[in-house]
Structure 1
Amino acid sequence: MSGKKKRLATDASGLLDPQAQAIVDAHSSLGPQPFEILEPGQARKQPGPDDAVKKVMEEKGLEGPEPVGSVTDLKIPDAAGGEQTLRVYTPAEPGKGPLPIIMWIHGGGWVLFDIDTYDASCRGLTNKTGAIVVSPDYRRAPEAVFPASHDDVLAAWRWTAANAAQMGGDPSRMAIGGESVGGNMAPATCLQLAEAGEPLPAAQVCVYPLTTPEQFGESMEDAADGRPLNRALLSWMAMHAFEGVPEAAQDPRIDLLNWPRETLALMPPTLVITDERDVLRSQGQQFAANLEAAGVPTTLSHYEGVMHEFFGASAVLDKAEAAQQEAAAHLTAALRTAG
């Protein structure tokens, strides 16, 4: 046995566009250990996808982050009697009057990453939409297992709606979205609001969402060794997120693919974004098909040649810029007619 630590190799599939390949190569060059062989505390210290993008930016002489009007961290209640951070972004060129509000929910499998990891997505969306973007730093597993993250996001949504005016926002024009498990918690939040008889977001965006705990579809095979998310890491995340909560796998907030038609029909207009080298590709596409079959105005947009976590890389990845523009257009159209 050598004393060398195992390092995460790059994606050698040959399926990624050159710009996307440069990002996964940069991530590998930072020397991260595979998350799935570590304890959560160790895994959180490894370089993340945002670090890979920053490395490519440095190599290209690009400065970041993208300027916005302001970034403010507020302390708001979580769902357990404690506090969570709500990061509030305002656009560089805000319009007149109260602005629409978009809640953007970060990913990381309910275990890894935080609002810092997804900062670039929020900056891009606030400038592209002219809306206020808020992002909750919800509790994570294993310190707080399911449904803690979902409960905190719902609490953050309700707090934002109740306090929109104090941040210059319009509570009648709100939308929601997120990446990875954030793309799970957006529709799960819509479901809980509908069940409580509360106003729903005007629209939602689900970027490479997790929509079932099952190892679902052909992408579990053809992208099993993808970067930065692979099949083994997905299982590791579930193990920690649902520890001691075996019933979580059947909970409608996790298994969106098992929703009956009448539940699906509750959803607002939805954009689902998927990508080629992603174990979650098939389940995201199936969720979009289910929504469409239930009569929900639904757009499925698929990006070839890119990988999970590509959305926030717009500084160095043209397809990320296109995806952000698409998300912004979907949200802006709905928010324009809301209220």
Structure 2
Amino acid sequence: MIKLTRRAGLMLPLGLMAACAAQPEMLPPADPTGRAEPEMRALLDSLQSLRGKPIETLSPAEARLQPGMADAVKARLRQLGRPVAPRPVPVVQDIEIPGNGGPLAARVYIPAEPPRAGQPARPLMPLIVYYHGGGFVIGSLDAYDASARALAMESQAVVIAVHYRQAPENKFPAAHEDAYVAYRWALQNAAQFGADLTRVAVVGESAGGNLAINVAMAARESRAPLPVAMGLIYPVAGTDMTTPSYQANANAKPLNAAMMRWFMGHYTSLPAEAQDTRLNVYGRAELTGLPKAIIITAGIDPLQSDGMLLAQRLQASGVSVVAQDYPTVTHEFFGVDPTLLATAGAAQRFMAGELRSAFALPAPAVVAPVATRRGR
């Protein structure tokens, strides 16, 4: 900005003084890495235009009010003069699931209209139990509504998207407990939604990806029915924040390393909890006997290494793994409208295709691990 002495300022014409005072605020780059593809960059520009504050500088209550990628998608659609209505799904229903700490909000997506009177019942559809992201602190069913809609329509499966208790009001392992309670409820109540309890997958994004694999591990340990597959979308799979992707994407948007430290600090009560097998999954968890893992990572994301390291550990443990990295997009890209981001559509189709393949196979048997290392 041009600096003026008081005397020089008095000598300027009023119009020029107003122009100097009205200079626009200098904003940091929307894509600090410079690696985002053009469509992703346009979305990051839209997100920046919403003037959200850095999450890591806020209280959790303030952070939950900040704009996210779903808001950026709507802003971009409006900029292009296009409608912002969500992807149509024939049946969308808000419900509540009994939880340990009280009712859990959930939303059911059914990709087919119910049969009319006199019509034969439709065949049972597969079921996906979906967990949203947000670092165990923020995030909501609404913020991740587009992901659930895409999964339902692309997979032709009933989706039950589950909310869970969040930190710091509810510390670790509250979200993990809620996720497993919701999975068991979904198995017991699948029929009322026209779903087949023998063809159930768990899918999650970011923190939700961590919850999804933990649900499978908890089912294995309790000898409950296993999901046929785990869809892990840029999962929080470890607590080492010095990995290559944390270093390369320390200042990335919409997720950076400082935010991840903020999330973990609010979810855990003690530093030692970061080494619990439920959080440090690729570092300490026993992974044998788990169902097929479908892993999606983004190149411009501190969590890219988490997904890759988890894939390696799962494969070494004898688990079937299919993984796909999308190098020119960021965290939160998965649920973006494919007409705005073709890479999001590719990722949605990849996940759905792998889920459909898993649904077509016999349900996995429960295989107890040789020895578990659950806990600290």
Q: How high is the TM-score relative to the length of structure 2?
A: 0.85
Counterpart of 1:86 in structure 2: which amino acid? A
- Superposed CA RMSD in Å reads 1.9
Counterpart pick for 2:288 among 245, 265, 269: 265
Establish whether residue 181 from structure 1 lines up as the match of residue 201 from structure 2: no
Establish whether residue 158 from structure 1 lines up as the match of residue 192 from structure 2: no
Q: Which runs of 5+ in 2 are unaligned?
A: 1-24, 115-120, 364-376
SS in 1 for 2:335: coil
Establish whether residue 233 from structure 1 lines up as the match of residue 255 from structure 2: no
Counterpart pick for 1:138 among 159, 164, 167: 164
Establish whether residue 71 from structure 1 lines up as the match of residue 98 from structure 2: no
Q: Which runs of 5+ in 1 are unaligned?
A: none
Q: Is the 8 A contact 1:140 1:148 kept in 2?
A: yes
Q: Is the 8 A contact 2:136 2:167 kept in 1?
A: yes
Q: Against the structure 1 CA distance between its residues 290 and 18, is the aligned structure 2 distance closer, same or farther, given a 3 Å change threshold?
A: same
In the alignment, the residues of structure 2 paired with residue 126 and residue 213 of structure 1 have an alpha-carbon distance, to the nearest angstrom, of 31
* Post-superposition offset of 1:73: 0.9
Q: Against the structure 1 CA distance between its residues 333 and 215, is the aligned structure 2 distance closer, same or farther, given a 3 Å change threshold?
A: same
Q: Summarize the alignment of residues 206-217 of structure 1 with structure 2, pairs less than 5 Å apart.
A: 206-217=232-243
Aligned partner of 2:66 in structure 1 is 46
* Post-superposition offset of 1:283: 1.5
Q: How high is the TM-score relative to the length of structure 1?
A: 0.94
Deviations 1:185-205 (A, max 9, x none): 111111111000111100011
Establish whether residue 122 from structure 1 lines up as the match of residue 143 from structure 2: no
* Post-superposition offset of 1:172: 0.9
Deviations 1:51-110 (A, max 9, x none): 011111222233320000111111111122x10112100114789311110011100000
Q: Is the 8 A contact 1:216 1:282 kept in 2?
A: no
Deviations 1:159-199 (A, max 9, x none): 01001111111111100111101111111111111000111
Counterpart of 2:94 in structure 1: which amino acid? D
Deviates more, 1:304-313 or 1:208-217: 208-217
Aligned partner of 2:349 in structure 1 is 325
Counterpart of 2:358 in structure 1: which amino acid? A
Deviations 1:129-151 (A, max 9, x none): 11000111111001111111111
Q: Is the 8 A contact 2:292 2:321 kept in 1?
A: yes
In the alignment, the residues of structure 2 paired with residue 6 and residue 172 of structure 1 have an alpha-carbon distance, to the nearest angstrom, of 55
In the alignment, the residues of structure 1 paired with residue 78 and residue 31 of structure 2 have an alpha-carbon distance, to the nearest angstrom, of 21
SS in 1 for 2:360: helix
Establish whether residue 31 from structure 1 lines up as the match of residue 51 from structure 2: yes
Counterpart of 2:320 in structure 1: which amino acid? P
Deviations 1:283-303 (A, max 9, x none): 110100111122211011000
* Identical pairs, percent: 39
In the alignment, the residues of structure 2 paired with residue 318 and residue 306 of structure 1 have an alpha-carbon distance, to the nearest angstrom, of 11
* Post-superposition offset of 1:336: 1.7
Deviates more, 1:70-79 or 1:189-198: 70-79
Counterpart of 2:276 in structure 1: which amino acid? D
In the alignment, the residues of structure 1 paired with residue 99 and residue 29 of structure 2 have an alpha-carbon distance, to the nearest angstrom, of 38
In the alignment, the residues of structure 2 paired with residue 12 and residue 246 of structure 1 have an alpha-carbon distance, to the nearest angstrom, of 30
Deviations 1:182-235 (A, max 9, x none): 111111111111000111100011111111112141111110010000011110
In the alignment, the residues of structure 2 paired with residue 90 and residue 6 of structure 1 have an alpha-carbon distance, to the nearest angstrom, of 46
Counterpart pick for 1:105 among 110, 118, 131: 131
In the alignment, the residues of structure 1 paired with residue 180 and residue 317 of structure 2 have an alpha-carbon distance, to the nearest angstrom, of 24
In the alignment, the residues of structure 2 paired with residue 52 and residue 306 of structure 1 have an alpha-carbon distance, to the nearest angstrom, of 15
Counterpart of 1:288 in structure 2: which amino acid? A
Q: Is the 8 A contact 1:218 1:282 kept in 2?
A: yes
Deviations 1:254-299 (A, max 9, x none): 1111246xx2122111111111110011111010011112221101
SS in 2 for 1:170: strand
Deviates more, 1:84-93 or 1:184-193: 84-93
Q: Against the structure 1 CA distance between its residues 93 and 76, is the aligned structure 2 distance closer, same or farther, given a 3 Å change threshold?
A: closer
Counterpart of 2:86 in structure 1: which amino acid? P
In the alignment, the residues of structure 2 paired with residue 247 and residue 158 of structure 1 have an alpha-carbon distance, to the nearest angstrom, of 29
SS in 2 for 1:232: helix
Aligned partner of 2:373 in structure 1 is none
